[in-house]
Amino acid sequence: MEGYLSGLQRTAGRVRQWLTHLTGTEIGGVIKFPDAVAPHWKTLLTKTIEDLVEQQDQTLIFFWDEMPLMLYNIKQQSGEVGAIEILDTLRSLRQMHSGLRMVFTGSIGLHNVITSLRRAGYVNDPTNDMATADVPALSLDAARELACQLVKGEGLQTDDLQETARAIVTAVDCIPFFIHHVVDELTQLGSTVNVASIGEIVDACLTDSYDRWHLRYYCERIDTYYTPDERLFALNLLDVLSVADHPLVSDDVFNLLKSRLETEDNEMARHVLTLLQRDHYIIQQTNGMFRFRFPPIQRSWRLQRGLGS
């Protein structure tokens, strides 16, 4: 913030005045926070936002990447109270300043952290003033364009650029993260690209012991964010859906679950199915049937869980 305001030939007056009062010494130049400031993070954050909003007439947007992970780590280190205070403070700042916007992103939903805080007695909804947006995979045309540009950019030789791009995006279901990785692997081969080599690369990466595509995270994050009961249901529900060769209605999902897990708790199964949808593992189609959201993740899940290729 200090660097941003300096570029506008302005200073963080509220922050400097408060720090001077707190520390008893005048703060000049680049601010270096003394240890005494740490317990007063809420005041520091509030006055920082006030300085920014006050000195510009444009909308101010904060992007907080991996927000759920940050809150989870704070909860683990400082308890639920610290995480709750952060969420409430950020919401209060949004309510106080009409020109302030925030974007929270993360590879797993914020709802998991908020749910764990509610178990500790937290009753507020700290993001009910924010819109929830899903970030899908690319459209087929956009994915092909990305693959074409990456292949050309790397100078790869191919018999048919369009056919190569089509094979890449089909193999990874238009997910840009994997498209980049496939092209990177093709570049390492250093030979003419063909459809067969693309399939071989995807096969190798899905079974890679070094987990180049970080696919084990789909299992590991369930251990982190789900309760023991939720985890048990989640693993078994995903096992059921991962080996299905077609979408399943809820009754079939429950019956197959019961063949793996001794339970009659359909309500817990429904609850976990909702969690898995919100965390982008599965989707419920308009006809009510459930399936894995992305085929590469489905295939990876089967392989990791020893359920077949």
Q: Which residue matches tokens 């660097």?
A: 3
Instruction: Name the CATH architecture for the domain at 217-304.
Output: Orthogonal Bundle (1.10)
Per-residue pLDDT tens for 208-241?
989 999 999 999 999 988 999 999 999 999 999 9
Which range, of 95-99, 116-120, 157-161, averages the lowest pLDDT?
116-120
- pLDDT at residue number 135: 87
69-74, long-range: CB within 8 Å, 24+ apart, which pairs?
Answer: 69/106, 69/107, 69/108, 71/110, 71/113, 72/113, 72/224, 72/225
- pLDDT at residue number 57: 77
Residue 300 has pLDDT above 90, yes or no: yes
> How does residue 22 score in pLDDT terms, banded at 50, 70 and 90?
confident
Residue 308 has pLDDT above 80, yes or no: no
- Pairing relation of β-strands 282-284 and 290-292? antiparallel
- pLDDT at residue number 309: 65
> How does residue 30 score in pLDDT terms, banded at 50, 70 and 90?
low
Residue 255 has pLDDT above 80, yes or no: yes
For range 10-20, the mean pLDDT: 78
For range 10-27, the mean pLDDT: 76
Q: Is there a contact between 302 and 131 (Cβ–Cβ < 8 Å)?
A: no
The model's pTM: 0.82
- Rounded-to-integer distance, Cα 285 and Cα 241, Å: 14
- pLDDT at residue number 8: 72
- pLDDT at residue number 20: 78
> How does residue 88 score in pLDDT terms, banded at 50, 70 and 90?
very high
Is 29 or 220 the better-scoring residue by pLDDT?
A: 220
> How does residue 280 score in pLDDT terms, banded at 50, 70 and 90?
very high
Any idea where the domains of the chain sit in the sequence? 2-119, 140-206, 217-304
The dihedral over CA atoms of 170, 173, 174, 176, expressed in degrees to the nearest 10, equals: -120
Which residues 6+ apart lie within 8 Å of 96 measured at CB?
A: none
Per-residue pLDDT tens for 106-150?
877 888 888 888 888 888 889 999 998 888 999 999 999 999 999
Is 28 or 201 the better-scoring residue by pLDDT?
A: 201
Is 122 or 167 the better-scoring residue by pLDDT?
A: 167
Residue 174 has pLDDT above 90, yes or no: yes
For range 59-74, the mean pLDDT: 91
285-293, long-range: CB within 8 Å, 24+ apart, which pairs?
Answer: 285/247, 287/247, 288/249, 288/250, 289/247, 289/248, 289/249, 290/241, 290/247, 290/248, 290/249, 290/250, 290/253, 291/241, 291/244, 291/246, 291/247, 291/248, 292/238, 292/241, 292/242
